[in-house]
Chains A and B, each alone.
Chain A
Amino acid sequence: MREILVTKGLTKFFGDFKAVDSVDLTLYEGTITSLVGPNGAGKTTLLNMISGVIKPTRGKIYFMNKDITGLPPYKIVKMGIARGFQLPCVCNDLTTLDNVRIAILSHMGKVRRLFSLVDKDKEVYERAIKILKTFGLYEKKDLLAQDLSHGDRKLLDVAMAFALEPKLILLDEPTSGVSTSEKSKIMRTIEKVIREIGITALIVEHDMDIVFSYSDRIIVMHEGKIIADGKPDEIKSNKRVESILLGVE
């Protein structure tokens, strides 16, 4: 398998606090990797650095052999890395359809058009409808994003990331704050799309049942460092991981 993302010595300080400590990470094409660890382990900070939301204090990030360290998020997106957020991150006063459409327009480089009407662009509309159907949001396409349920807002956030047709998708707790029954539904949908398209995914998740069910590989972080990296069965039998994640001595 080919390397798609490589980080070398990635470090982030917030004042004196070292949130991420010299992380060397390699992701391989077409795999679903889960990033787990207790709160404050540095998972979201790592995702923020890869997606350009924050700049690393030290270290390098290479995406498909290109140095993307410190690039702004909109440039990183154009290179093929999309991002879903921990809290549903959508445009509240736009309809579900328009949320997806604006992502597609951006991906297609049409967003600069000043006088063409969005409603007249059939190609974008059809693509948006396809994505909405994939994520089970078609029936709610005319609702404002603010009127959707929490679970649907999470799905819309992820759907917008998929609308960018990324090569690598970063998802930060895609099932947080949703009911147990909805969790499986959301993860099934996400996994199905990832496998179908064959893109690479790095998913931060707390629910270990979900992590063990869908991951090809699991990376465990603790206090800013990677402390374990392997297949689900290897991580399951790792006593140190068990003690850190479950607090078992």
Chain B
Amino acid sequence: MWLRGNMLSYKTLLIIGLLILFAIPLLGSSYLDFLFSMALIYSIWALGYNFLLGYTGLLSFGHGAYFGLGAYTVAMLVTKYSFRPFLPVLGIAVLVATFFGAIIGFLCARHVAKYFALLTLAFSQLFYALTFKLYHWTGGSDGIVVKSLDFFGVEVSAIKNPIGYYYLTLIFFLVSVCSGWRIVNSPFGKALQAIRDNPLKAEAIGIPVKRYKWYAFIISAAYSGLAGALFAPLLGYAYPDLFHFSFSGEVLFATLLGGHRVFFGPVIGAIIFTIAKSYIIATVKYWPLVLGSMLVITALFFPHGIIGTIYVVLKRRGSKTP
């Protein structure tokens, strides 16, 4: 990683970051609990998304689909079928997103570059259209209100107990970060990076490129599904726009903002994006213009993203390679 040359600084930064995350509820603001819960959920989503973009070199415009599937599965189970145990509901939501990720990924991973990107977008829009068509299931444009869940006898509600929900989200965030770190530094993770850098060479050293792209897609969909499953109880609502490609664009934006070639880039990008979006929406009328400008500035002047740029600067100053 980007500070391997200085492990003390790296560990110190991680500990400081962790302490800040654990201390957020101490500030006593329900709004901040909500905002940072949202930021952590976006971070899980961006981490999963980056298995494809940063580590396999595949650009998806349709990852809202798996986020939406996670959210809608929770909403349907809790509200329509009154199935409320938190962990099983979350598990089923992740399985549903992973299942559809496996089917769609199988079809998309056979294609490259723009064809891959367009296919992911098309499937996402298909789910978007289905949420309207299957309104008796999905609630159509009204979406589904998510009732509270049950966690070993304790009511899980981001509205009634924002601190409790924040810490639950934080646990899933930490599990996602740890598992994600292991995956990208595993032989499988290195194989994905080889595919990203040179698919011809990857195949020539015995890596079945299409199959591994598919695996990366499935893992990515699972993380996205988890993020969506945590999102629905937080907002208390699942709605069709989660499947819309503009929503998928948000995870791409967050990932690029932080830096897609650095492990913690998407995490930091997602946190900054969530906070920035929240404050910009509250203060500026034409908030999409401001967010769009942020993206243009990032793409033009900081193509490595925020963390990626810091890494590049440190590397130029003599730090070792990642």
Contacts and interface: CB of A to CB of B under 8 A. Distances in A.
Interface stretch (B65-73, B83-91, B151-159, B203-211): B203-211
B190 A101 contact: yes
Contacts of A89: 198, 200-201, 204
Contacts of B183: 114-115
B182 interface: yes
Size bracket of the B interface: 20 to 34
Q: Mostly helix, strand, loop or mixed at chain B's interface?
A: helix
Contacts of B200: 53, 85, 89
B206 A142 contact: no
Interface in B253-291: 261
A93 B204 CA distance: 17
B197 A92 contact: yes
Contacts of B198: 89-92
Contact of B186 (A85, A107, A118, A143): A118
A117 B186 contact: yes
B194 interface: yes
Contacts, number: 112
A105 B194 CA distance: 12
Nearest to B182: A115
Given A77-B206, A95-B321, A118 B190 contact: yes
B191 interface: yes
A156 B321 CA distance: 18
Contacts of A91: 193-194, 197-198, 201-202
Given A105-B190, A111-B191, A93 B261 contact: yes
A225 B154 CA distance: 78
A94 interface: yes
B251 to A, nearest CB: 22
Interface in A90-110: 90-95, 98-99, 101-103, 105-107, 110
A43 interface: no
B321 A164 contact: no
A2 interface: no
Interface string A152-178: 000001001101100000000000000
Chain A CB count within 10 A is highest, among B179, B187, B188, B198, for B187
Nearest to A78: B206
A116 B187 contact: yes
A198 interface: no
Contacts of A92: 197-198
A244 B208 CA distance: 40
Contacts of B202: 91
A248 B204 CA distance: 38
A51 interface: yes
B82 interface: no
12 contacts: A72-B208, A77-B204, A82-B205, A83-B204, A89-B200, A91-B197, A114-B183, A116-B187, A118-B190, A119-B185, A142-B321, A144-B321
Interface of A: 51, 53, 72-74, 77-78, 82-83, 85, 89-95, 98-99, 101-103, 105-107, 110-119, 121, 142-144, 157, 160-161, 163-164
- Which 4 pairs of residues, A with B, have the shortest CB-CB distance? A91-B197, A77-B206, A106-B206, A105-B187
